[in-house]
Structure 1
Amino acid sequence: MNKKRIITMVSTALLVTGCGEVGNAQTVAVENSGQSIQKNIVKSIQSQANPLKTIDPSKPFEDLKPLKKMIGSAQYVGLGENTHGSSEIFTMKFRLVKYLVTEMGFTNFAMEEDWGNGLKLNEYIQTGKGNPREFLNLLYPTDEIIAMIEWMKDYNADPSNKKKIQFIGLDLKELDQGCFNKVIDYVRLHRPNLLAEVEENYKELSAFNGSTQEYMDLAPEIKEKFKANAERVARLLKDENKQANTEIVSPEYIWAKATASAIEKFTTMLIPNDYPSMLKLHEQYLADHAMWAQETFGGKTMVWGHNIHIAKGIIDEKLYPYVAGQFLKERLDNNYVTIGSTTTKGNFTLYSEYDPSTGGKITTRAIPQNVNSFNYTLGKVPYNMFLLDNRHLKGQAEKWVKAKRPLLSIGGQIFPNESTYFDKSLLEQFDIIFHIRKTSPSHIK
């Protein structure tokens, strides 16, 4: 695979998860498209689904109570979205986050957002400093997600909530100057004797904006040098464990050490010359960061991202042959529960075009249709929205979730000649789903 093709694939995968095909009719042609959905399958799903009354996070949680039993004692929960631009999906995920925090004790929030932005968002929900809309990348600075972050800030400000929410950016799409400053500022204040060495090791690396495209254009020897320099700084901070017992538990030290490690991971991730190896490291690091949050702060952890990332299986084998959810499931087994989201019809927000250097143009499109899909059948269930525990179904519904059939998965941008549906088993991807029949575009400014 030539270098240009690798760069294109990496940029596509890391920046805009998923792909799709849109025709004039917004409909995928499939065999047997004229056949009606079997009523007994729909009835079987209906009899075992848990209807949801509302997406409104301010409403009572009575309809979400079955979720407590579904999740059980699991300490990690993945919260997925089948597009990056559906208003009702985002709002329901906010409602689920609020339920998990207030009713089940989840306090670590790990999001498919860059590590550096995660640092700023965590500071915001602890102190109110900054503008959260400026700290969200790509299709995430929406009114729906901002409302959730504002709630997190208010929750943390309430003195009756003793254990505060921690916001962790899982991703490494790019490194901003704030990442380097987090490490340098800590060293300047607490280990000034190391400052010159740290600044020297970060000098050239921090001069780049950290985008994958720019970084991959560097000569191999330069990337190796940057990796060695980043490793050196990370090692210096790790050595503080032995030398500064009073500093080990301070938040400043915790975040500086973890940020040095994230910088090291970024330089390591982009060393391989083949796409699968780079992608595997990327997804492994997402999982690492989620587990770091748990190991560092205790409590329970929510993992927010696209369905593709949080799924326990592989949805898009071409673009994502490895995923974070798969790593988490392998490491944690039943201690990780995946909650995917599905929709049947409506519209969603996405990029009409995207350039990593200059940004993209926002548009909306209709949800493509496939009458043989999981999404279409779920839309026939006579509830506007519901929860479904795929692991404990009986009868026709059990057979249905185990079988492979088309599953909708759309990311941040539509690409020509690629499917929006992937033949997968719903059970192999998600332990639980929440389905919202009709969704509308997210509100992004």
Structure 2
Amino acid sequence: MAVTGGSADGTAAREGRQAQEVREVREIRGEALPLTGPRSLDPLLERIGDARYVAVGEASHGTAEFYRWRAELTRRLIAEKGFSLVAVEGDWPDCQSLHHCVTGAPGTPEDPGEVLDGFGRWPRWMWANTEVLEFARWLRGHNLALPAGERVGFFGLDVYSLWESLHAVLDHVREHDPDRMEQALAACRCFEPYARDPQSYALATQVVPAGCQAEVVSLLAGLRERAGRRQAAGADGGLAAEFTIRQNAEVLAGAERYYRAMVRGGPESWNIRGHHMADTLDRLVAHHGPGTKAVVWEHNTHVGDARATDMADAGMVNVGQLLRERHAAEGVVLVGFGSYEGTVVAAQQWGMPPETMEVPPARDGSVEGLLHRALPGGSALFVWGDGDGAGGGDGAGGGREGAGAPAPAWRREERDHRAIGVVYRPQAERWGNYVPTVLTDRYDAFLHLDRTRALDPLHRYEHGTGEEETYPTGL
């Protein structure tokens, strides 16, 4: 029986795909560095070198191994490379309380668990979990062996704590800056009708688009001016408190813009949040002075360069992109995570209690599916050259592999890359939860953990959401 041209073409295509798969598996196995313990991170420490910024991601907000390996890397960066602060995708006021505890500030609890118990905004499990508690206890012990001026801080970069930051500003002004009391009260009076409900405020701005913007801007301008005056005068003492209250005012301004934009939809609120987090990091580094090095903990969607994903097509930017654009000359290393299957802590809907959910095997053809095929059941670290990617300097990848050789094809091709938020519906994986990604441009290193398990939250209950569901979906 004669073979038709169509059958021959189909056979050739299958053979081509099979040959490509064999080549990709060979490339991956050749690059994979086994993850067996803290010392297996040595190649990543070497890649980081003297970089001033290391941003470490996670593919979900509820996977124990992501948190554990991130904490292990951070311990080594602090102990061996002198990193000065940890900045996370968390609220400024809550993280400030943990910062005071881990740096041994007078009057703070001896056990960070007492502080994490007080984290109030949903989702509590994102920071109030056993992995963060273990790291915080280690950090406190490390810090107490150092002089007060050399202790490593823990700070929140996020924008959500509108009411908490507003009341912190009001309390500070009432005690230390009574001349600005009318400005602070004007902001309080403007927000008061919304009863600590950001959604109500966001909806109200559809009727009065400016919302409380004028009151907030006036208050922020005054606090910025005061902080600048004190810094220029070289004021002794109190500068940390001055920085904290100014940051609360910046959060207030950022949150007001965020909620006003969120009700309009689209990427604007996401970009406001990304710029706020990057700006907060810049202020922290400047405040801590020359030589400061920062570790950033956020979701992959914030850490991995947005220009290497379809986020860029939607007009979205993120922290990883902004770090590369602003600080490439000082050294920026972006580290991503992924897993093939396992369990995760997440919620079925915004504001609901956390559940342990099954994470189904990743899609065929995805980053995670490809790595599983090459390394079934294994864990591996991948580290590539300084900005090995599509471009140089401030580009998405920004550099070279060795002497200009292209990166292996498996990580140069665009592939789906799983992203799980605090809201997760495993049954929706066939159409959601993936971000098209060019891996070699999005990150400088990647940790693949084939099977992972859920975090262990410190609490199994939640008491209020604190805000409307975030754009795009709890990331």
Is TM more than 0.5 here?
yes
Which of the pair is proportionally richer in strand?
A: 1
Q: Report the secondary structure of 2:416's partner residue.
A: strand
Local SS of the residue matching 1:363: strand
| 1:441 partner amino acid | A
2:408 to 376, 386, 398: 398
Q: What does residue 104 of structure 1 align with?
A: 81
Could you say which residue in structure 2 is the equivalent of 1:290? 281
Structure 1 counterpart SS, 2:151? coil
User: Is residue 306 from structure 1 mapped to residue 286 from structure 2 by the alignment?
Assistant: no
Mapping for residues 253-264 of structure 1, pairs under 5 Å: 253-264=242-253
In 2, the alpha carbon distance for the partners of 1:42 and 1:242 equals 56
Q: SS of 1:352's equivalent? A: coil
Deviations 1:282-321 (A, max 9, x none): 2111111122211111311111111001111254639883
Structure 2 CA distance for aligned equivalents of residues 73 and 243 of structure 1: 33
Q: Higher relative contact order at CA 8 Å, sep ≥6: structure 1 or structure 2?
A: 1
Shift of 1:50: 2.5
Match status 1:182 vs 2:193 = no
**Amino acid paired to 1:333:** A
Tell me the distance in 2 between the aligned counterparts of 1:50 and 1:305: 24
Deviations 1:226-249 (A, max 9, x none): 111111111111221465432686
Which aligned pairs between 1:39-188 and structure 2 lie closer than 5 A? 39-54=22-37, 61-126=38-103, 127=105, 128-129=108-109, 130-135=114-119, 137-138=122-123, 139-140=125-126, 141-159=128-146, 163-177=150-164, 179-188=165-174
**What are the residue-to-residue correspondences of 1:419-434 with 2, within 5 Å?**
419-434=432-447
Note if contact 1:173-1:212 (Cα within 8 Å) is conserved in structure 2: no
Question: Is residue 234 of structure 1 aligned with residue 220 of structure 2?
Answer: yes
Q: Which of the numbers 176, 181, 199 marks the counterpart of 1:213?
A: 199
The alignment partner of 1:275 has SS state of: coil
Contact 1:37 1:377 in 2 (8 A): no
Which whole-Å CA distance do the structure 2 matches of 1:108 and 1:423 have between them?
A: 32
Once the 2 structures are TM-superposed, how far is the Cα of residue 259 of structure 1 from its aligned partner?
A: 1.2
CA separation in 2, counterparts of 1:243 and 1:84? 40
Displacement, 1:115?
2.2
Cα deviations by residue, 1:227-285 (Å, 9 ceiling, x for unpaired): 11111111111221465432686211111112112211211233343422222212111
2:361 equivalent to 1:348: no
SS at match of 2:219: helix
Q: What's the CA shift string for 1:94-123, capped at 9, x where partnerless?
A: 111111111111122111112222222222
Residues 343-382 of structure 1 mapped to structure 2, 5 A cutoff: 343-355=339-351, 359-379=352-372, 380-381=374-375
Equivalent-residue separation in structure 2 for 1:386 and 1:397 (angstroms): 18
1:11 corresponds to: none
Q: From the superposition, tell whether residues 289 and 403 of structure 1 become closer, same or farther in structure 2 (CA, over 3 Å).
A: same
* Partners of 1:350 and 1:365 within 8 A in 2: no
Matched residue, 1:324: 319
Asked if 2 retains the 8 angstrom alpha-carbon contact of 1:109 and 1:303, the reply is: yes
Aligned equivalents of 2:163, 2:296: Cα separation in 1: 22
**What TM-score comes out, normalization by structure 1 length?**
0.81
With the length of structure 2 as denominator, give the TM-score of the two structures: 0.77
**C-alpha distance in 1 between matches for 2:97 and 2:141:** 16
| CA deviations over 1:367-404 (Å, ceiling 9, x no partner) | 33223122122222378322211346688961111111
Q: Which amino acid aligns with 2:270?
A: L
SS at match of 2:224: helix
Q: Is the 8 A contact 2:183 2:215 kept in 1?
A: no
Contact 2:341–2:360 (CA under 8 A) maintained in structure 1: yes
2:371 maps to amino acid: L
- Describe the SS at the equivalent of 1:106: coil
Whether the 8 Å CA contact 2:227–2:246 is kept in 1: the answer is: no
For 1:66-116, what per-residue CA distance to the aligned partner results, in whole angstroms no more than 9, with x for missing partners? Answer: 222211222111110011111111111111111111111112211111222
> Is the CA contact 1:81–1:305 (under 8 Å) kept in the aligned structure 2?
yes
Q: Which residue number corresponds to residue 258 of structure 2? A: 269
Measured on the aligned residues, the alpha-carbon RMSD in Å equals 2.9
**What amino acid is aligned across from residue 400 of structure 1 in structure 2?**
W
Report the CA distance shift for 1:121/1:204 in structure 2 as closer, same or farther (over 3 A).
farther
Distance in 2 of aligned mates of 1:207 and 1:290: 32
Structure 2: gaps of 5 or more residues: 1-12, 389-400, 460-475
Give 1:441 shift: 1.0
Q: Any idea what SS the aligned residue of 2:117 has? A: helix
In structure 1, give the amino acid aligned to 2:446: I
Match of 2:9 in 1: none
Q: Distance in 2 between matches of 1:401 and 1:425?
A: 6
Aligned to 2:418: 408
Does the aligned pair in 2 maintain the 1:40–1:396 contact within 8 Å? Answer: no
Which residue among 210, 234, 258 is the counterpart of 1:224? 210
> What is the CA–CA distance in structure 2 between the aligned matches of 1:151 and 1:214, rounded to whole Å?
41
Structure possessing the higher radius of gyration over alpha carbons: 2
CA deviation map 1:137-174 (0-9, x unaligned) = 41412211221122222222223585212222111134
Aligned residues with identical type, % of pairs? 21
Contact 1:180 1:206 in 2 (8 A): no
Change (3 A) 1:207 1:256: farther
Going from structure 1 to structure 2, the CA distance change for 1:354 and 1:268 (only over 3 Å counts) comes to closer
Q: Distance in 2 between matches of 1:85 and 1:389?
A: 24
Q: Is the 8 A contact 2:227 2:243 kept in 1?
A: no
Quickly say closer, same or farther: Cα 1:193–1:406, change in 2 above 3 A: closer
